[in-house]
Amino acid sequence: MSSKNEVFIGSVDQGTTSTRFIIYDGDAKAIASHQVEFTQFYPEAGWVEHDPMEILESVRVCTAKALDKAAADGYNVEAGLKGIGITNQRETTVIWSKSTGLPLYKAIVWMDGRTSSICRRLEGTLSGGREHFVDTCGLPISTYFSALKILWLMENVAAVKDAIKSGDALFGTIDTWLIWNLTGGSGAVESIKGLHVTDCSNASRTMLMNLQTLNWDQPTLDTLGIPIELLPRIVSNSEPIGIVAKGWPLAGIPIAGCLGDQHAAMLGQLCQKGQAKSTYGTGAFILLNTGEEIIRSSHGLLTTMAYKLGPNATVNYALEGSIAIAGAAVQWLRDGLGLIGSAAEIEGLAELVENTGGVYFVPAFNGLFAPWWKDDARGVCVGITRFTNKGHIARAVLESMCFQVKDVLDSMQKDSNEGGAGESNGREFLLRVDGGATVNNLLMQIQADLLGSSVIRPADIETTALGAAFAAGLATGVWTEAQIFASGNKDKATIFNPKLGEELRKKRCDSWFKAVSRAFDLADLS
C-alpha cells in the first residue's frame, strides 16, 4: 500500500470486556486509539449480562478520545476519514424497543449458560437432537448461539413478549445494536430512523441463517417460533451500510464494514483458503478458512462464515473451534482470587516455576465448547499437593488456554484433511495468533510446545480491529482487495518454535484429557 497519510479509516472494536476505537492511516497503521472497560453482570451462576446502553456510551467515549489523541499528534482525521468498520463480540443478544430505543432486558452474553434447559427440550423433541439444524446453519443446538437466547427472552421477559406482539421489538447482536443507534436510533435527532442491519458473519452465529443462501431460514424460524419481523436485514462484510447520524462524534461518516470479531481477525490476519488463526481474548477462537467449500465437521467443530468482501463477492467459509474461557481465566485469577494485581503479572508469576508441578486447570466456568460441547461441565483444578504454590496455579491457567487450542486444532486437522482444506499438505503447520493475550511470550512458547509446531505472532496483534478497517477501506476505495492481501509482509513477525519433546508432549496431553474428563457432569441441571 502506498502512503496516504491524509486518508484515514476508523474501527470500532466492541469486545466482551472492553470497547476500543482505533484510527488507521492509508498504510493501515494505527495512529490513535482509546479503550474503555465496561461492567460485567453475573446475576446468577452461569449467567453473564451487559448493559447495552453502557456499551453504546463506551463507543461514544472511545471515538471522541481517539479523535482527540489523533488531533493532539497533528492528524486532521475528521477531514480525511473515509469510513468506519465495526467488529463485535458475537452471539450476544439484545432485544429493544423500536419506539423508545431502550433495551427491553440486559444483553445476554455469548458465554451465558441460562438456556441449557431450552437446549435439552429442543434436543428431546427435534429429529436429530442437538444436530437438528446443522445442515442448514452449521451449528449444533447450544447455549452459545443467539436463537436460544431469543427464545429465553421470549419465554421469560414480559416486556419482550408484549413488544413482539405489538411489533415494537427489534433483535440484534451487538453490531446491529450499534449500527441502529449510530444511524439514528429511534429518531430522536431530526427524525432520522436507525438502520436495522446485520452482516452475514454475525448472522451466521445466530443458528437462524442458511449458510448457503445467506438469508434467514424460514423453516428454522417456524420451528423455533421466532418472527422474521424481529430480525435485521443481512448485508455483506464490506459495503456502504449507512451514515453516522448527527449527535455522534463522527456524524456524516459512512459505516462501510462489519464483521463478527473472529471473522474480522481472520481478515486482519489475511487468512485465505487453508490458513488458520487463533485469537486469544476473553475466550479463544480458532478458524480455518475453507474457501468456497462448506465442510461439515465430524469432530466437534462448527461450520461457519469466514467473510464475504462485498455484495457480489464470493463467500469464504470456515471451520471454527470456539473456547469459552481463555483470558477470562486470567481475569478470574485477578478479580476472583486476587493472585495477581493485573493481567500482565501472570507471566512473571508463572515464570517463577519451571512447570505446573502436576497441576491441571480446566476453566469450564460455564461449560466447555469445542470440541467437547459439554454445558454440564464446570471448572476443576486437579493434581494439587502441598508442593503446589500460586506460581504453579498461574502456569496451569496459561497452559489451559494452550491445551484447549490444541484440542481444537487436532479436530480441525482431522476435518480439514477429510475435506481437503488443510494448509499443511506435508508442510509444517503454522498457526497465526492475535489478541491481547499474545503479548505474553511464555503463553506463546507453551502454545508452540504443546502443538509441536510453530506459532507466528504479527507485529500488530490487534488484527480484529484491523480486519474491520480493511473491510471499510475496501468498500470506500481506500484499498483494493489485492493491496490488502499483499500487505502482510511489511512488518516483522515473531515466530515461536517448539522446544518440548514428543514423548513429554504426549504424556502431558494425556494428563490434560484426564483432567477434562473430571470436569464433566458437575453442573446442577435440575
User: Mean pLDDT, consecutive 10-residue segments, the chain of 526 residues?
Assistant: 69 94 94 94 92 97 95 90 96 96 96 92 92 93 95 97 96 97 80 88 97 96 96 97 93 96 92 89 88 88 93 94 89 91 93 94 90 89 94 95 94 73 49 88 95 89 91 95 78 87 93 94 69
Residue ranges and CATH numbers for the domains of the chain are 8-269+461-488 (3.30.420.40), 323-457+490-519 (3.30.420.40)
**Residue 489: what pLDDT?**
52
d(CA 114, CA 100): 27
Q: Are 21 and 10 in contact (CB under 8 A)?
A: yes
Hey, what's the torsion of the CAs at 373, 374, 375, 380, to 10 degrees? -130
* Grid coordinates of 403: 491445551
Chain centroid offset of residue 20 CA: 14
Residue 490 CA to residue 486 CA, distance in Å, equals 9
- Exposure pattern of 45-69 as b/e (b: 16+ CB <10 Å)? ebbbbbbbbebbebbbbbbebbbeb
Nearest to 245 by CA among 181, 199, 198, 196: 181
Q: What is the DSSP letter of 367?
A: B
Query: Vertex 46, ends 326 and 51: CA angle to 5°?
Result: 85
What's the residue count for the chain? Answer: 526
Residues 6+ apart with CB under 8 A from 467: 85, 87, 259, 263, 264, 265, 266, 267, 268, 269
The dihedral built from the CA positions of residue 135, 141, 143 and 146, taken in this order, carries a sign that is positive
Helices (H), 193-332: 200-203, 218-224, 261-268, 327-331
Model-level pTM?
A: 0.86
Helix H or strand E segment including 83: strand 81-88
